[in-house]
């Protein structure tokens, strides 16, 4: 029967171990390099001697296998093969021959043990070809580790040719075994020598590296000292890092605050621009209103000045007419005195039982002197009063309008001062103050104009009252009844007196119209020379001339 190859034997061993160790995944020889699977296989044989350690390795397994073989199975050391455990325990490229030797020793322990049912049953469950391979390996192992190896061989006398042949064969086998052992020993010796050489070189290398390692150790100690010294610095650095992180957070917060402050500054600038624009608009509106009010007030002032000039011109004309009227009054008074003298002379010549003319004339004169200027004819003073009242009403309305505009302007300025923010500075406040001062000066100037117009109106009113009083006096003087000096002409004199009163009344109306129309010409009543005529004739002629003048 041919001996199986190394690869076939390893494959059969791998499948056998996989059948026993169900919980493991064993696909190649690399899974056997750590020894844990083989410990599990041998634990079923002897769980005391092959108890798996905490960290299993192939070297530990080899020591226990060799110890079990020598102590329990009584296999001498010289029979056991020399195995390179380090080469067999390499994970990447293990030594397959050394690993196969170790597996053969494991198989020897299993076969010579009494508790090997599970292991044998596992062999029987293998495929047929692997069972054949395992059978061949078992026969080879049993032939290598028989009892004759442990006990000295017995010499028997040859009983015949067959016995000597058997002995010869056994001797041959022993020689072959010894040769095999010799080759194994030589291999072990070469391996040991190579191992010694390797260890020697490693020792030399380690000795050469010892100084470097000592220097490294010194450096390590120095680094440890530096580390110990740097620990407080490291802690301080960590504290600084924590404080720096807090500072960074605060810096981020400060950046956010700066950003918000910039946004607020932009909003404030926009509000300032809006407030300045509003202030400019309000100032322009106030300036426009002020200019319009000023133009209106100037226009009104111009009209009032023109009216005042016209009234002053009329006043001068009225003065001239008043002087003329006073002159006529003096002439009338002289005529009255002459009439009184004439009446006295007539009373001496022809006395009458009725009231005497002097007494009547004195009574009329007293009534004329006692009359108030407010009791004269409405045509002489009422129209002038109405006209001056209208002028006064216009002046008062204008003054009230200016006062209301002044109050409105001050209210607008106060509102503008409230709207302007405090951050605007002193410029906008100064501009508002200048506008307020300008408006105050304008309204003060207009108020002064109104006061002057009021005084002018009062003066004109007084002048009108004086003129009306003078007209009243003249009318009363001219409308006085004139008595004749002859009793027989009393009725005619009374008729003439009524006619004269009517004539003087028409003259007063004409004079009033001339005053209103501002005519400088005063018509003179034509006088008839009294030479060679009586007083009655003279009065009649004067009356007829006056009537003729008025009829024109």
Least confident range of 241-255, 390-404, 498-512, 513-527:
513-527
Q: Check residue 387 and give its pLDDT.
A: 57
| pLDDT value, residue 270 | 92
What mean pLDDT is predicted for residues 471-496? 57
pLDDT in tens, 2-58: 567 888 888 888 899 888 888 888 888 888 888 888 888 888 888 888 888 877 788
Which residues, in sequence order, are CB contacts of 171 under 8 Å at separation 6+?
none
Q: Counting Cβ atoms within 10 Å, is residue 539 exposed (0-12), middle (13-18) or buried (19+)?
A: buried
Residue-wise pLDDT for 267-310, tens only, equals 999 999 998 888 888 888 888 888 888 888 888 888 888 988 88
Report residue 265's pLDDT band, with 50, 70 and 90 as the boundaries.
very high
Task: Write the DSSP assignment of 447-501 as a string of letters.
Answer: HHHHHHHHHHHHHHHHHHHHHHHHHHHHHHHHTS----SSGGGHHHHHHHHHHHH
* Other CB atoms within 10 Å distance of the CB of residue 222: 10
pLDDT at res. 49: 84
Residue 453 CA to residue 446 CA, distance in Å, equals 10
Angle between helices 6-20 and 117-124 (to 10 degrees): 120
Interval 161-190: pLDDT, tens: 456 677 777 777 777 777 767 767 776 777
Query: In this structure, what token pair is assigned to residue 20?
Result: 């026993």
- Tell me which CATH code domain 6-148 carries: 1.10.418.10
Q: Which residue has the higher pLDDT, 540 or 361?
A: 540
Rounded Cα distance between 542 and 524, Å, is 12
- Given a cut of 50, is residue 374 above it in pLDDT? no
Report the distance separating Cα 34 and Cα 55, nearest Å. 9
| 22, 15 Cβ separation under 8 angstroms | no
Residue 501 confidence (pLDDT): 64
CB 10 within 8 A of CB 99: yes
Mean pLDDT within 245-274: 91
Buried b / exposed e across 339-377, counting CB within 10 Å, b at 16+?
A: bbebbeebbeeeeeeeebbbeebeebbeeeeeeebeebb
Structure tokens at 235: 């802690």
Q: To which residue do tokens 């503008």 refer?
A: 416
Q: Which residue has the tokens 């008839």?
A: 528
Q: pLDDT tens, 220-243?
A: 888 888 888 888 888 888 888 888
Mean pLDDT of 497-518: 65
Instruction: Give the model's pLDDT for residue 315.
Output: 87
Gap between the Cα atoms of 404 and 303, Å rounded: 21
Strands (E) across 155-204 are located at none
- Provide the pLDDT confidence category of residue 87 given band limits of 50, 70 and 90: confident
Report the distance separating Cα 507 and Cα 218, nearest Å.
151
Helices 426-478 and 378-419 meet at what angle, rounded to 10? 170
Chain mean position to CA 507: 89
* Cβ 50 vs Cβ 64: under 8 Å: yes
Q: Which phi and psi angles does 3 have, rounded to 5°?
A: -80, 135
Cβ burial of 88 (10 Å; 0-12, 13-18, 19+) is buried
* Interval 92-145: pLDDT, tens: 777 888 888 888 999 998 888 888 888 888 888 889 888 898 888 888 888 887
User: Do 388 and 464 meet the contact criterion of CB atoms below 8 Å apart?
Assistant: yes
Q: Of residues 275 and 478, which shows the higher confidence score?
A: 275
Q: How confident is the model at residue 348 (pLDDT cuts 50, 70, 90)?
A: low
Residue 181: per-residue pLDDT: 73
What is the percentage of the chain residues whose pLDDT exceeds 90? 4
Which of the four pLDDT bands, split at 50, 70 and 90, describes residue 466? confident
| Domain-wise residue ranges, the chain | 6-148
Confidence at 546, pLDDT banded by 50, 70, 90: low
- Secondary-structure percent of the chain, ordered helix, strand, coil, rounded to 5: 80, 0, 20
* pLDDT of res. 30: 83
Q: Is the Cα torsion angle 459, 461, 464, 465 positive or negative in sign?
A: negative
Determine contact, residues 24/34, Cβ cutoff 8 Å. Answer: no
Q: What per-residue confidence (pLDDT) applies to 37?
A: 87
CA distance 33 to 37: 9
184-204: pLDDT as tens digits:
777 677 777 777 888 888 888
CA distance 182 to 36: 32
């Amino acid at each position: 029967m041919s001996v199986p190859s190394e690869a076939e034997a390893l494959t059969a061993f791998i499948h056998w171990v996989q059948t026993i160790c169900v919980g493991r995944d064993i696909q190649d020889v690399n899974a056997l390099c750590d020894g844990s699977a083989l410990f599990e296989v041998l634990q079923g044989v002897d769980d005391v001697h092959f108890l798996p350690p905490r960290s299993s390795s192939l070297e530990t397994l080899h020591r226990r296998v060799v110890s079990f073989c020598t102590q329990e199975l009584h296999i001498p050391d010289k029979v056991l093969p020399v195995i390179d455990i380090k080469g067999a325990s390499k994970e990447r490229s293990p030594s397959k021959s050394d690993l196969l030797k170790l597996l053969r020793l494991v198989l020897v322990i299993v076969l010579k043990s009494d508790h090997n049912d599970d292991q044998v049953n596992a062999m029987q469950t293998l495929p047929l070809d692997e069972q054949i391979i395992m059978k061949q390996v078992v026969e080879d192992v049993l032939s290598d580790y028989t009892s004759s190896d442990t006990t000295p061989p017995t010499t028997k006398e040859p009983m015949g040719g067959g016995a000597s042949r058997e002995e010869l064969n056994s001797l041959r086998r022993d020689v072959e075994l010894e040769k095999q052992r010799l080759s194994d020993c030589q291999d072990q010796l070469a391996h040991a020598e190579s191992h010694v050489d390797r260890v020697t070189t490693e020792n030399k290398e380690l000795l050469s590296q010892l100084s470097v390692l000592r220097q490294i150790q010194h450096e390590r100690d120095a680094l440890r000292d530096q580390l110990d010294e740097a620990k407080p610095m490291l802690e301080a650095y960590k504290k600084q890092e924590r404080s720096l992180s807090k500072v960074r957070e605060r810096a981020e917060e400060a950046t956010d605050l700066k950003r918000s402050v910039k946004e607020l500054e932009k909003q404030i600038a926009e509000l300032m621009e809006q407030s300045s624009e509003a202030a400019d608009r309000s100032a322009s509106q106030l300036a426009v209103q002020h200019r319009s009010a000023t133009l209106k007030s100037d226009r009104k002032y111009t009209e009032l000045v023109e009216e005042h000039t016209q009234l002053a011109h009329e006043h001068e004309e009225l003065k001239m007419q008043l002087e003329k009227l006073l002159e006529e009054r003096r002439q009338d008074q002289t005529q009255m005195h002459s009439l009184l003298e004439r009446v006295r002379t007539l009373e001496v010549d022809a006395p009458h039982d009725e009231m005497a003319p002097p007494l009547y004339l004195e009574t009329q004169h007293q009534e004329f002197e006692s009359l108030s200027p407010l009791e004269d004819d409405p045509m002489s003073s009422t129209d002038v009063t109405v006209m001056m009242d209208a002028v006064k009403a216009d002046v008062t309305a204008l003054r009230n309008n200016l006062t209301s505009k002044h109050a409105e302007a001050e209210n607008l300025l106060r509102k503008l001062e409230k709207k302007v923010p405090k951050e605007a500075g002193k410029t906008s406040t100064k501009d508002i103050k200048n506008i307020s001062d300008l408006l105050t000066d304008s309204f003060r100037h207009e108020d002064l104009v109104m006061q002057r117009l009021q005084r002018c109106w009062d003066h004109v009113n007084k002048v009108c009252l004086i003129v009306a009083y003078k007209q009243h006096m003249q009318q009363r003087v001219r409308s006085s009844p004139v008595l004749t000096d002859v009793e027989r002409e009393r009725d005619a004199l009374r008729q003439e007196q009524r006619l004269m009163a009517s004539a003087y009344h028409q003259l007063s109306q004409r004079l009033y119209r001339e005053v209103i129309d501002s005519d400088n010409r005063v018509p003179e009543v034509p006088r008839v020379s009294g030479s060679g005529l009586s007083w009655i004739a003279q009065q009649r002629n004067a009356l007829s001339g006056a009537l003729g003048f008025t009829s024109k």
